[in-house]
Structure 1
């Protein structure tokens, strides 16, 4: 196996003889074999072991065993005494998830402190098979078939192409000792149940079951990569982004094959799941304009013939502007406050406002609009509810909650970014102007 290991390392350029690595070693068969292969191949490494204190004396025995191994390999030894049960209680996660988070966080801490090139993990082909099936059982879709990568960031898995049988044969031939984790025999854990009860039956189905499974997975992964490329091209053409608000027109996805997948891959990084993607697609088919979908930080609005994605509005504290202020900042942008004489040309951009300064009373206030607010839109004589005004402009729901107004002595002078009030406008009699200009 040593020859195959070295060939794999060189062929894939996975490790560098001139660099030093951190070996994550539990003391089990796999990590003992990886450490032995690294030592025999001349790689420089340090050893890291986490004592989770989950199996009393057995855990302490594992720690001592790995420490002795590190001495045999002439490798520096690092150990972390983890309070796993407290971590479970504090973070409300399973014991397995707690152990995973604890070790990966600590491994990375040691790697940085020691300026090491990467963290070596002893996952092998059988672990990969288990991971892929667990992903499929969780409903992760085609990306679940990717399994674990040989290199991802600073995590490196040099044994991934080798089966557990090959590793065991090598360990037996080398007369290696290792520790057996008694918890690995318990079928209370999903991974153990899959490894002990289910996968052996599947692999016994035919002599070439294992080879055919990995061939199928490779083909499906390649299909996934092709889809990703096509998705990126579609996204660049179909998704419009303006100041952090994204829009997707019905015509760009509704009648395409795989529309639900397109929606999911667009929205997943914003916290939406595959079930929501299906619900969003069905909502579009039914024409449910006005329907909202939410993730932890974003909201999606089915608005007539398009989907609109925006960050959720955060609480906004009122801003008070004195006559001496030179500007203000709001989430929508930074504004300058300029005082001028009567301008020769009016700035008609809704992003800016030119108001008759002598009609205003300081301090001015900037606040979020509220239900029941009214103002007199420019060009009109009668007041109108802001809610009705926004409906007339067909402002999407995702934008409405974040809209702010400029208020003078209790009267609304400007719906920021949309319309000034008629009473505050420039007229022929205007002598002084307050120019609120977006930078």
Structure 2
């Protein structure tokens, strides 16, 4: 059980102790309030001795919390929960009890809304999530105080809670009391409304899952969503957001995507961390932003070529062959090739003479002619014979390397289909 020494956690400890539940205590001394923080630790050590339960204590300080680059409250929260998880695993405990109560829940929901969260922000804190268990969420601050006072139980007061330096304190000390004065049952009514909205949210996510499974197609490492499927869809912005958010896109990014769809900007690309979203003519295409590829050598005796999402058998044929018409495969005149061949990413300035042409052409222009989406251009590879491009892999072979009636031996790259 997490214990700060404050009224809520001490109340939970007394309840566990009186019920005869087997538990241990965990206390973090953040050393943010000098002697007061040390007094909290001494109080917790004393109460652990009274209850005769094991106690785990750890310490950190303002300098460490500041070094994380997060706000003090967020850094302290992360430190606390990470430590709880370590202690739980090391000692084989079933979970971590924390003493969040009713007003904490309301404050959390308000803070979520003020941060601009969507419907999930109304969920607040779960009664149980992972190893974290919150048994006091149904009980109000006044109920907890009444229980503690009637039983004569002592607790520590955190003086930082009396200031309005933090947003949560501002809500706790000014906003919620004012709301309760003007609307005596306001917090209870809000809780009921939040519960209904949470249930509505669960229904939405079930429907969203069905919609995504029906409309988002996975192929070759990309996700495809037909643009027409969302043009007149009710709540389309939310649908797109919940599809894209796990890949780093924000709600504001999705607003820009919708605008591009409305004004018609095929080829527009949006970036978010490691991912990019490409508005092709008919589809949204989602995939990795970059494509790492080290040049690969193809030797004369190799029997396969593995290109991550594609795999080719390398066959050597004699004069008895039929010309392969599929652009995915390649048949090259063996005697015109200089081994070892090289597979690398195409580069700006690359040129080749495509099959059937008598002049060279920029690879960038050829990809435009072939209507290759921007997102896929990054992953296009070329096969080089010496310094000459023999194959724009998956699209065109070089005219110089084509097979003719005089070809005596063929190097055949044949895609392996699963």
2:47 counterpart SS class: helix
Q: Following TM superposition, by how much is the alpha carbon of 1:347 offset from its aligned partner in structure 2, in angstroms?
A: 4.9
Q: In the alignment, which residue of structure 2 is the partner of 1:37?
A: 15
Note closer, same or farther for the CA distance 1:430–1:42 as it changes in structure 2 (3 Å cut). Answer: farther
Q: Corresponding residue for 1:121?
A: 98
Instruction: Determine helix, strand or coil for the equivalent of 1:116.
Output: coil
Per the TM alignment, residue 336 of structure 1 is displaced from its structure 2 partner at its CA by 4.4
Whether 2:234 is the aligned partner of 1:257: answer yes
**TM-score (normalised: structure 1):** 0.90
CA change 1:349–1:179 in 2 (3 A) is farther
Q: CA deviation at 1:326?
A: 4.4
Give the structure 2 partner of residue 418 of structure 1.
395
Q: Contact 1:343/1:433 (CA < 8 Å) preserved in 2? A: no
Match status 1:135 vs 2:112? yes
Aligned mate of 1:357, from 331, 334, 354: 334
Q: Secondary structure at the match of 1:193?
A: helix
- In the alignment, what sits opposite 1:64? 42
**What do the CA deviations read for 1:181-200 (whole angstroms, capped 9, x no partner)?**
11111201000001101111
Quick check: 162-171 or 77-86, which moved more?
A: 77-86
SS of the counterpart of 1:44?
Answer: coil
> Residue 242 of structure 1 is aligned with which of 188, 206, 219?
219
Alignment of 1:6-405 (within 5 A): 23-89=1-67, 91-342=68-319, 344-345=321-322, 347-405=324-382
| C-alpha distance in 1 between matches for 2:38 and 2:315 | 72
Cα deviation, 1:108-152, whole Å, max 9, x if unaligned, reads 011000111111111111100000000000000111000000111
User: Does the 8 Å contact 1:377/1:421 carry over to 2?
Assistant: yes
Distance 1:215 1:359, change over 3 A: same
- Give the distance between the partners of 2:83 and 2:305, measured in 1 at CA: 44
Give TM-score scaled by structure 2 length: 0.94
Q: CA deviation at 1:381?
A: 3.2
Paired residue total = 416
- Structure 2's unaligned 5+ residue stretches are none
- Residues of 2 paired with 1:314 and 1:83: CA distance? 42
* Partner SS, residue 309 of structure 1: strand
Please list every run of 5 or more consecutive structure 1 residues that lacks an aligned counterpart in the other structure.
1-22
